[in-house]
Amino acid sequence: MEKKTGIGKAHSKIILMGEHSVVYGHPAIALPLKNIEVTCRITAGDETLKFDMTDPLVTAIFAALEYLGQEDAQLTYLVDSQVPQRRGMGSSAAVAIAAIRAIFDYFDQDLTADLLENLVNQAEMIAHSNPSGLDAKTCLSDRPIKFIRNLGFASLTMNLDAYLVIADTGIHGHTSEAVDKVRKSGQTALPLLKNLGDLALEAEKAIEQADLQALGNAMSQAHGLLARLGVSCPEADHLVQVARSAGALGAKMSGGGLGGCIIALVKTSEEAERLIQKLKEEGAINTWTEKL
Ligand code: MEV
């Protein structure tokens, strides 16, 4: 029996290490942001949905309806999102997950984890042409993960007694363009990508040993490499510099880049507060703090 409203929720994510290099099979580390959520509500509508297959949300809904053989269902959808769009925080993956969950809830159908991931990745192909699957996997995980494309993922234990400050440059990120830019750099990008993968492994070791200085160093070095790849932007470079000058243990851009967010590692919540103040004075339009 059809229910009146189908509801689906999902949370956002942030990449700690390994954006871009993950597309080329190097390891990455990413964290779910469980308090930053998207909710999608599906209700009966007066007409069948118009499918604009350039929109990842609509593509996600279509993928779910097609799987269920319900392409002609008359529905409306409403999305309520705390995840800022195009800021490297997994908005497209989170919205797709919430929408697919809502469709399955509406039709009262079971949705396995594998099927959900498969359908989300179909939608992510629209959002980011050649997605590694990292965003979807992190938005589907309740724990930090280490992820290697086509190989799988492992949950990471993170007891760092530290804080990650996330600051939004206010500039829309451009993931597809950034991924294309790296691809077009061809052979010259390969050593930088390998170095980024090695830094992700150093970060993993630092997390295991709770070595905050080593983690911070790996983050700052990764920012330098991402900037050399041409996927940072002046606003992100500026906020990274501000964070480092203000005493952060490390800082970097996060996500696809050419805009979006930066992340900075600090030891205490007081340091996080002070850094947030400084980043806002220097142009950050929004900030979040995540305990690690
Ligand atoms: C985008 O959030 C992360 C990238 O590594 C792309 C991908 O993993 O598909 C830039």
Question: Tell me: the pLDDT tens digits for 146-157?
Answer: 999 989 999 999
Side chain identity at residue 254, one-letter code: S
The model's pLDDT over 186-218, given as tens digits with 9 standing for 90+, comes to 999 999 999 999 999 999 999 999 999 999 999
Contacts of 165 (CB under 8 A, 6+ apart): 243, 248, 263, 264, 265, 266, 272, 275, 276, 279, 287, 288, 289
Ligand 1 proximal residues by C-beta, below 6 Å: 15, 19-20, 22-23, 88, 128, 131-132, 134-135, 175, 179, 255-256
pTM exceeding 0.95: no
Q: Which of 17, 135, 172 to mutate to test the pocket of ligand 1 (most atoms within 8 A of CB)?
A: 135
Question: Which residues, 6 or more positions from 114, have their beta carbon under 8 angstroms from its beta carbon?
Answer: none
Closest atom of ligand 1 relative to the 256 alpha carbon: 10
Mutate to test the pocket of ligand 1, among 134, 148, 226 (most ligand atoms within 8 A of CB): 134
pLDDT digits (tens, 9 = 90+) for 9-38: 999 999 999 999 999 999 999 999 999 999
Atom of ligand 1 nearest to the CA of 19: 5
